[in-house]
Amino acid sequence: MTSLMTRRIIAAVLFLSASLFGIKLKDPRTMEFPARLEFTPHEVERFRLSNGIEVFLVEDHEFPLVDVVFRIDAGERRVDAEQAGLADILADLVVEGGSKAVPKRVFQDSLERFGASFRGSAGPKQASFTLHLLSEHIDDLLPLAVGAIREPTLPDEQLELNKNQRRTAYRARNSEPTAVAGRVLRKLCYGKDSPSARETAPATLDRIDLESLTKFHQTCYRPSLTMIGVVGDFDPKVMLEELERCLGDWQEPEVKPPDESPLYTDPASPGVYLVPWPGSVQSGIYMSHKGLLRDDPRYPASRLFCEVYGGSWYARLRKAIRVEHGLAYVVSGHVSSGFEEPGIFGTVCLTKSESTLQATRLMLGVMDDLRTQGITQRELELAKQSWLASFPAHYAEPEQVLRDRMNYAAHQYPIDFWDKLPDKIEPLTREDVNSFAAGFIKPRDLIIVILGDSTAFDDSLSKLGEVTIIDPEVY
Partner 1 sequence: MKNLPRILFAILAGSIPIIGVSGTYAEIEERVVEHELANGMRFLIFERHEAPLVSMVIAVKAGAVNEVTNKTGIAHFLEHLAFKGTQRIGTKNYRAERKALEELDAAFKAYHKAEQEGADSEVLAALYAEFKQRQEKASSYIVQGELSEIYDRNGATRFNASTGYDYTTYIITLPSNRFELWCAMESDRMATPVFREFYSERDVIIEERRMRTDNSPRGLFYEEFRSVSYKAHPYGHPILGHLSDMENLYRKDVRAFYETYYVPQHMTAAIVGDVNAEEIIGLIDKYFGRIPKRPDPPGLITKEPEQPGVRRVQMQIGRQPRLYMGFPTVPEGHEDELVLDLLASVLGRGRTSRLYRSLVEERKLAFSVRAGHTTMLYAGQLGFSGTPIEGVTAAELEQAILGELTELKENPITEEELDAARARWKVRIYTYLSSNLGMGYMLAQGDQGNTGWQDIFRIPERAEKITPQDLMDAAERYIDPSRRSVGLMEVAND
- Footprint of partner 1 on 159-178 (CB under 8 A): 161, 164-165, 167-169, 171-178
How many whole angstroms separate alpha carbon 356 and alpha carbon 444?
20
Shortest Cβ 384–partner 1 spacing (Å): 10
Residue 400 beta carbon to partner 1: minimum distance, rounded to whole angstroms: 9
Residue 310 — φ and ψ, nearest 5°?
-155, 15
Contact between 33 and partner 1 per CB under 8 A:
yes
Nearer to partner 1 (CB atom), residue 143 or residue 258: 143
Considering beta carbons, is residue 368 or 397 the nearer one to partner 1? 397
Q: What is the DSSP secondary-structure string of 249-310?
A: T-PPPSSPPPPPPPS-SSPPPSEEEEEE-TT-SEEEEEEEEE-EETT-TTHHHHHHHHHHHT
**Closest distance to partner 1 from the beta carbon of 96 (Å):** 7
If one asks whether residue 138 binds partner 1 (CB under 8 A), the answer comes out as yes
Task: Find the binder of partner 1 among 250, 395, 436, 457 (CB under 8 A).
Answer: 395
466 binds partner 1 (CB under 8 A): no
Asked if 372 touches partner 1 (CB under 8 A), the answer is no
106 binds partner 1 (CB under 8 A): yes
Q: Which region among 191-199, 209-217, 280-288, 366-374 touches partner 1 (by CB under 8 A)?
A: 280-288
Residue from 82, 249, 397, 431 in contact with partner 1 (CB under 8 A): 397
Nearer to partner 1, 66 or 263 (CB): 66
Question: Considering only residues 219-248, where is the footprint of partner 1 by CB under 8 A?
Answer: 232-235, 238-239, 241-242, 245
Single-letter code of the amino acid located at 389:
A
Window 198 to 217, contacts with partner 1 (CB under 8 A): none
Sign of the Cα pseudo-torsion (166, 172, 178, 181, in order): positive
Span interacting with partner 1, options 76-84, 98-106, 368-376, 404-412, rule CB under 8 A = 98-106
Task: Indicate the SS3 state at residue 155.
Answer: coil
Minimum Å gap between C-beta 29 and partner 1 is 6
Dihedral sign, Cα of residue 67, residue 72, residue 75, residue 77? positive
| Interface with partner 1 in residues 107-136 (CB under 8 A) | 108-110, 112-117, 132-136
| Residue (of 279, 19, 264, 260) closest to 122 by Cα position | 260
Using CB atoms within 10 Å of the CB of residue 49, give its burial: 0 to 12 exposed, 13 to 18 middle, 19+ buried: buried
Helical packing angle, 86-97 and 104-113, nearest 10°: 70
Of residues 301-330, those binding partner 1 (CB under 8 A) = 312-314, 319, 322-330
Under rule CB under 8 A, residue 430 binds partner 1: no
Taking the complex as a whole, the smallest distance from the CB of residue 445 to partner 1 amounts, in Å, to 28
Cβ proximity to partner 1, 119 vs 420, nearer residue: 119
- Asked if 280 touches partner 1 (CB under 8 A), the answer is yes
Q: Which of 174/265 has CB closer to partner 1? A: 174
Q: How many residues bind partner 1 (CB under 8 A)?
A: 112
Does the footprint of partner 1 cover residue 445 (CB under 8 A)? no
Tell me how far CA of residue 312 lies from CA of 231, 337, 344, 382, 395, in angstroms: 31, 18, 18, 10, 19
Cβ(437)–Cβ(371) below 8 Å: yes
Q: 38 — alpha (psi -120 to 50), left (phi > 0) or beta?
A: beta
Q: Is 112 exposed, middle or buried (0-12, 13-18, 19+ CB in 10 A)?
A: exposed
Q: What's CA 145's distance to the chain center, in Å?
A: 24
Residues 144, 114: Cα–Cα separation, whole Å: 13
Instruction: Provide, rounded to whole angstroms, the least separation between the CB of residue 318 and partner 1.
Output: 8
Residue 70 or 391 having the CB closest to partner 1: 391
C-alpha to C-alpha distance for 455 and 277, rounded to whole angstroms: 10
Report the b/e string of 204-219 with b at 16+ CB within 10 A: bbeebeeebbeebbeb
- Which CB atom, from 23 or from 474, has the smaller least distance to partner 1? 23
Nearest to 69 by CA among 145, 124, 148: 145
Among 23, 251, 259, 412, binds partner 1 (CB under 8 A): 23
Residues 35-64 close enough to bind partner 1 by CB under 8 A: 37, 39, 41-42, 59-64
The helix/strand/coil state of 329 is coil
Q: Which of 131, 304, 398, 437 binds partner 1 (CB under 8 A)?
A: 398
